[in-house]
């Protein structure tokens, strides 16, 4: 650029921040996540519940369906958190319900994510006719009320655990599919993808090893939040009695004791608090991951 007064040439320098290397990127992501106190607190609370689900029944073996005291005993009289209308220990029910609730939520989330990412990746990578067909299918499932659709599937087939997991997955995969499609449409035309294609990389390798890893940050956030949503869906189905009657979950505890809420508030409140805490803490983890994985927030 020339200076009009002196006629001398001046140079303007523009500094561009270099992209972080993968190891440094994830190290920086971990640092940002750990600096987010609500997200870290959420991770600790969820870890405690996972520990309870994995080792609680081993440390304190009991039968959650066995009466242990007088029905509707208040907390502290005979048991820590009181008993329900059949005299079953509420604390034992929450302890044993933790494992099954989290297992159902985790399994249903994995199936949901697999369906959503697979269809979204195919639609976003190939585009054209395949994209149009898959998006019409996605829109069909998207307009159906997910909980009502899941209720119909379970009511028509059975209340078996596998059917419940598949019912939740089949009705809730659309969000992950549309998000994956959007990321693939954005990434598939970038230079490193085009160079890999020019070097002879096959479509499967491009989808799984080139595009998908770069599309994962927003998907990780969506997957984390999906776990909390799945817990709510499972609790709703259990509340309505649409799950296996031989297993104990938090939603089932609330559903069985809902008629006794005004006489024995603890039978509903404590399982409800467990659901609230886990879902809230998972949401905090999701917010923390969103902040940590967002490149615009790095270096703040």
Distance CA 88, CA 283 (A): 31
Q: What residue spans of the chain are helical by DSSP H?
A: 22-34, 37-59, 90-126, 128-143, 146-156, 161-172, 174-187, 191-198, 203-205, 212-239, 250-257, 266-293
Pair of tokens at residue 188: 């598939």
CA 255/CA 253 separation, integer angstroms:
6
| Alpha carbons 124 and 210: distance in angstroms, whole number | 14
Q: Is residue 199 predicted with pLDDT exceeding 50?
A: yes
- 22-297: CATH homologous superfamily? MetI-like (1.10.3720.10)
Q: Which residue has the higher pLDDT, 248 or 3?
A: 248
Binning pLDDT at 50, 70 and 90, where does residue 144 land?
Answer: confident
Residue 198 makes CB contacts below 8 A (sequence gap 6+) with none
Q: What is the distance between the alpha carbons of residues 137 and 123, in angstroms, rounded to a whole number? A: 11
Residue 298 has pLDDT above 80, yes or no: no
β-sheet bridge partners, residue 97 = none
Residue 153 has pLDDT above 70, yes or no: yes
pLDDT surpassing 50 at residue 12? no
Q: What is the pTM of this model?
A: 0.85
278: closest CA among 253, 252, 250, 236? 250
d(CA 258, CA 81): 16
pLDDT band at 90 (very low <50, low <70, confident <90, very high): very high
Does the pLDDT of residue 20 top 70, yes or no?
no
pLDDT-wise least confident of 12-21, 40-49, 222-231:
12-21
**Integer angstrom CA distances of residue 141 from 111, 246, 256:** 16, 31, 31
Res 5 pLDDT > 70:
no
């Amino acid at each position: 650029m020339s200076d009009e007064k002196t006629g001398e040439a001046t140079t303007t320098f523009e500094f561009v921040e270099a992209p972080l290397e993968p190891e440094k990127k994830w190290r920086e992501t971990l640092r940002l996540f750990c600096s987010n106190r609500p997200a870290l607190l959420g991770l600790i609370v969820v870890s405690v519940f996972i520990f309870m689900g994995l080792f609680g029944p081993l440390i304190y073996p009991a039968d959650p369906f066995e009466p242990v005291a007088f029905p509707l005993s208040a907390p502290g009289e005979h048991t820590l958190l009181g008993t329900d209308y059949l005299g079953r220990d509420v604390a034992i029910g929450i302890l044993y319900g933790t494992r099954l609730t989290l297992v159902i939520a985790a399994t249903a989330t994995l199936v949901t994510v697999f369906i959503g990412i697979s269809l979204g990746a195919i639609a976003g990578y190939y585009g054209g006719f395949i994209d149009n067909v898959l998006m019409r299918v996605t829109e069909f499932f998207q307009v159906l009320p997910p909980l009502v659709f899941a209720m119909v599937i379970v009511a028509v087939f059975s209340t078996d655990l596998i059917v419940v997991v598949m019912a939740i997955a089949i009705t809730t995969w659309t969000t992950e599919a549309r998000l994956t499609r959007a990321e693939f449409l954005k990434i598939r035309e970038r230079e490193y993808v085009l160079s890999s294609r020019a070097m002879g990389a096959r479509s499967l390798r491009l989808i799984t090893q080139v595009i998908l890893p770069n599309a994962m940050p927003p998907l990780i956030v969506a997957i984390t939040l999906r776990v909390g949503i799945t817990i709510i869906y499972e609790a709703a189905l259990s509340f309505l009695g649409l799950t296996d009657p031989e297993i104990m979950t938090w939603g089932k505890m609330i559903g069985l004791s809902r008629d006794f809420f005004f006489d024995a508030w603890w039978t509903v409140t404590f399982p409800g608090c467990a659901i609230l805490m886990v879902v809230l803490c998972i949401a905090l983890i999701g917010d923390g991951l969103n902040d940590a994985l967002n490149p615009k927030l790095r270096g703040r």
